[in-house]
Amino acid sequence: MLKIDGLFKQFGGFVAINDVSFELIEGEKHAIIGPNGAGKTTFFNLVTGHLLPDRGTVAFQGDDITGRPPHRIVKLGLARSFQRINIYPRMSVFENVQVALIARERREFRFFTLAAGLCGPETRALLELVSLADEAEELAGELAYGKQKQLELAIALAENPRVLLLDEPTAGMSPSETEEAIRLIREIADARGLTLLFTEHDMTVVFGIADRITVLHHGEVIASGAPEAVRSDPMVRQVYLGEEEVGNGAA
Amino acid sequence: MTGPMTRPVLAACAVVLVLLALVPVLESNYLIDLFNEIMIYALFALSLNVIIGYSGNVSFGHAAYFAIGGYTMAILLTTYQWPLLPAFAASVAFSFVASGVVAYFCTRLTDIYFAMLTLAFSMLVWGVAFKWRSMTGGDDGFVGVDVPAFIAERVPFYYFSLVVIAIAVAVLWVICHSAFGRALLAVRENPVRAGFVGINTRLMRWWAFVVAGTFAGIAGSLFAMVHRGMYTESAFWPESATVLIMTLLGGMYSFFGPAIGAASLFLLERLTNEYTEYWPLVLGTILLVILMFLPEGLAGLAKAVRRQILRVR
């Protein structure tokens, strides 16, 4: 569904993504893991058109989309959420989701169609889905952190994507919020038949959702496969899971 | 700002409209001229706010489109003796085209670079008005605009102006509250996210600029007729600054804020000039107070006061 070939990106002398090739199969829930600075977010930014790769190609359903701007890639059915909160803070929760629907229906250049009544039922349904229906009229910037994450998910879903890229969907959440978020994401992905690609720090989240895992380290893929295979991969244990355990022990 | 037109707002608009319609009853030429000027600048400030409040960019050169509308109107009515309607249509169309060309370049940039480029283009327009003496009258100004006979008198022109501005403001209101207006807010709030929901942010900002320029052109056309002339000052950068101050004073996060700002600034200036000749000092102080204490202008202040009252109850 999504095929990435020989992707390479450097910032100054620092190689962030080194010759990464990767394929996302329709219907799978694929996690990209790796220590901080492994290049996960850069990888996402390259795939979604936020950054231009120095070399390599990104193909979506056979179309070469390398170098296309984000607003055109989204229209093909590839939506994303962000690691840091990325919403419209001075607009209401309702409007945050509604704008995504207006854009999806290509109505953003309707100058004489009043926005007030547009896409109401669908906006409310999406807010219901992420349990934000009661906060619809609140300013998005005034929501609690966990709820802003949910809102971000609703915005991404409003684009009605076939592939959803989630950049650390539970970053900064409490354990209970995390659990709730995992349940929600899994449920939505199954119900909508979404192909999911996500980066994550939290191993419970990764093993709770993913049916395939790719491990990035220093911008290179060092392992890819089923969760169990990746978990027992000696190299992965050494560079990643090992560190994680040490980190947990210290904490 | 983003909600539907609420009943109190609608009622306030109706009251203002009626009061404006009643101004000629006072039979004061001074007041008729003053309120005509206020209405024109209110439209001018409202148009600027499409760029500032709605698209989130600051323009330092909005006077250019006001001047383009005004000069086009003056030249077509007088030099070429066009009838009113075609002349008006052409001046609006020309403002549209001119702002479209400038917007093409300006929307490549953001922030201070955008602002500086708008300033540069407005100086270019000023330069043309200043140097093209045979067409514009240069620094003597374009004096003696032929206004059609049926609106040549003060009171009929006032009503003509009122009707045109009321319609223009209504259309602008619809545009700002349309699907386009809402998507534009998203671009202002977070251009990166807006891009990732499929909005072409540059094209949105282009349209915002063009809408603003076109409505500024309408205001300028009326200005040329009410003053029976057009002068290079209208294209010069202090004019752009004045309309920017009106917008900030009234409040950029409210649709009607800039109109309130225009009225307040005019009335304050007249009042101050009654007592002292230090208007610039007063203006500077006002600006200071807005920037320090009222980032959302008078409209924001009104909102905050209303919230306080509701809380006390």
pLDDT tens track for A117-146:
899 999 999 999 999 999 999 999 999 988
**Residues of B with Cβ-Cβ distance to A70 under 8 angstroms:** 195-196
Option in B179, B190, B196 nearest A108 (CB): B179
State the smallest CA–CA distance between residue B165 and chain A in angstroms: 18
Lowest mean pLDDT among A239-248, B106-115, B124-133: A239-248
Note the pLDDT of residue A248. 42
Decide if B190 and A103 are in contact by the 8 Å CB cutoff.
no
Note the pLDDT of residue B9. 84
Give tens-digit pLDDT for A111-120.
999 999 899 9
Decide if A86 and B193 are in contact by the 8 Å CB cutoff.
yes
Option in A88, A114, A118 nearest B189 (CB): A88
Statement: residue A247 has pLDDT above 50: no
Average pLDDT over residues B58-66: 96
A44 residue type, one letter:
F
Average pLDDT over residues A102-115: 94
Note the pLDDT of residue B5. 60
State the smallest CA–CA distance between residue B29 and chain A in angstroms: 38
Structure confidence at residue A250 as a pLDDT band (50, 70, 90)? very low
Note the pLDDT of residue B44. 98
Statement: residue A243 has pLDDT above 60: no
Option in B4, B189, B197 nearest A116 (CB): B4
Statement: residue B312 has pLDDT above 80: no
Decide if B2 and A115 are in contact by the 8 Å CB cutoff.
yes
Average pLDDT over residues B266-287: 90
Residue of A nearest to B186 (CA): A88
Give tens-digit pLDDT for A5-62.
999 999 998 999 999 998 999 999 999 998 888 889 999 999 999 999 999 999 999 9
Statement: residue B27 has pLDDT above 60: yes
Q: What b/e sequence results for A12-47 when a residue is b if at least 16 CB atoms lie within 10 Å of its CB, and e otherwise?
A: eeebbbbebebebeeebbbbbbbbeebbbbbbbbbb
Note the pLDDT of residue B190. 95
Say how far residue B289 (Cα) sits from the centre of its chain: 22
Extended strands (E) in chain B: 142-143, 229-230
The Cα–Cα gap between B63 and B238 comes to: 9
Q: B218, B172, B205, B211: which is closest to B67 by C-alpha?
A: B218
Decide if B190 and A92 are in contact by the 8 Å CB cutoff.
no
Statement: residue B146 has pLDDT above 70: yes
Q: Which residue has the tokens 């009104």?
A: B302
Phi, psi of A5 (to 5 degrees): -130, 115
CB within 8 Å of chain A, chain B residues 241-260: 253
**Residues of A with Cβ-Cβ distance to B253 under 8 angstroms:** 90
Biggest alpha carbon distance in chain A? 62
Decide if A114 and B177 are in contact by the 8 Å CB cutoff.
yes
Option in B186, B203, B211 nearest A99 (CB): B186
The Cα–Cα gap between B143 and B167 comes to: 28
State the smallest CA–CA distance between residue B208 and chain A in angstroms: 11
Q: What percent of chain A has pLDDT over 70?
A: 95
Note the pLDDT of residue B295. 87
Question: Sign of dihedral through CA atoms B211, B215, B216, B218?
Answer: positive
Question: Sign of dihedral through CA atoms B109, B111, B116, B119?
Answer: positive
Say how far residue B138 (Cα) sits from the centre of its chain: 24
Structure confidence at residue B85 as a pLDDT band (50, 70, 90)? very high
The Cα–Cα gap between B250 and B294 comes to: 10
Average pLDDT over residues B88-95: 97
Average pLDDT over residues A168-188: 86
Helix (H, G, I), strand (E, B) or coil at B143: strand
Note the pLDDT of residue B143. 93
**Residues of A with Cβ-Cβ distance to B211 under 8 angstroms:** 111
Q: A12, A97, A86, A105: which is closest to A48 by C-alpha?
A: A86
Residue A106 β-bridge partners: none
Statement: residue A249 has pLDDT above 60: no
Statement: residue B2 has pLDDT above 60: no
Q: Which pTM does this prediction carry?
A: 0.91
A171 contact partners, CB below 8 Å, separation of at least 6? A83, A149, A201
Q: Which secondary structure element, helix H or strand E, spans residue B135, and what is its range?
A: helix B133-136
Q: A204, A229, A193, A202: which is closest to A214 by C-alpha?
A: A229
Question: Best mutation site among B167, B176, B196, B205 for testing chain A: the one with the most A CBs within 10 Å?
Answer: B196
Residue of A nearest to B53 (CA): A90
Cβ atoms within 10 A of the Cβ of A234, count? 9
How does DSSP classify residue B80?
S
DSSP string, chain A: -EEEEEEEEEETTEEEEEEEEEEE-TT-EEEEE-STTSSHHHHHHHHTTSS--SEEEEEETTEE-TT--HHHHHHTTEEEE-SS--S-TTSBHHHHHHHHHHHHTT-TT-SSSBSTTTTHHHHHHHHHHTT-GGGTTSBGGGS-HHHHHHHHHHHHHHT--SEEEEESTTTT--HHHHHHHHHHHHHHHHHHT-EEEEE-S-HHHHHHH-SEEEEEETTEEEEEE-HHHHHH-HHHIIIIIHHHHHHHHH-
A181 contact partners, CB below 8 Å, separation of at least 6? A146, A149, A150, A169, A170, A173, A205
Residue of A nearest to B191 (CA): A88
Residue A196 β-bridge partners: A29, A164
Decide if A71 and B198 are in contact by the 8 Å CB cutoff.
yes
Helix (H, G, I), strand (E, B) or coil at B230: strand
**Residues of A with Cβ-Cβ distance to B4 under 8 angstroms:** 114, 116
Give tens-digit pLDDT for A217-239.
999 999 899 998 888 888 888 87
Q: What b/e sequence results for A59-94 when a residue is b if at least 16 CB atoms lie within 10 Å of its CB, and e otherwise?
A: ebeeeebbebebbebbbbbbbbbbbebbbbebbbbb
Decide if B180 and A69 are in contact by the 8 Å CB cutoff.
no
How does DSSP classify residue B75?
I
B110 contact partners, CB below 8 Å, separation of at least 6? B57, B191
Residue B51 β-bridge partners: none
Give tens-digit pLDDT for A69-86.
999 999 999 999 888 889
Q: Indicate the pairing of strand A212-217 with strand A29-33.
A: parallel
**Residues of B with Cβ-Cβ distance to A86 under 8 angstroms:** 190, 192-193, 196
Question: Best mutation site among A84, A95, A99 for testing chain B: the one with the most B CBs within 10 Å?
Answer: A99
**Structural domains for chain A:** 1-77+161-251 (3.40.50.300), 87-159 (no CATH)
Q: Indicate the pairing of strand A14-24 with strand A63-64.
A: unpaired
Decide if B192 and A95 are in contact by the 8 Å CB cutoff.
no
Decide if A115 and B193 are in contact by the 8 Å CB cutoff.
no
Mean pLDDT value across chain B:
93
Lowest mean pLDDT among A88-102, A155-169, A195-209, B200-214: A195-209
**Residues of A with Cβ-Cβ distance to B174 under 8 angstroms:** 111-112, 114
Decide if B197 and A112 are in contact by the 8 Å CB cutoff.
no
Q: Does B198 touch chain A (CB under 8 A)?
A: yes
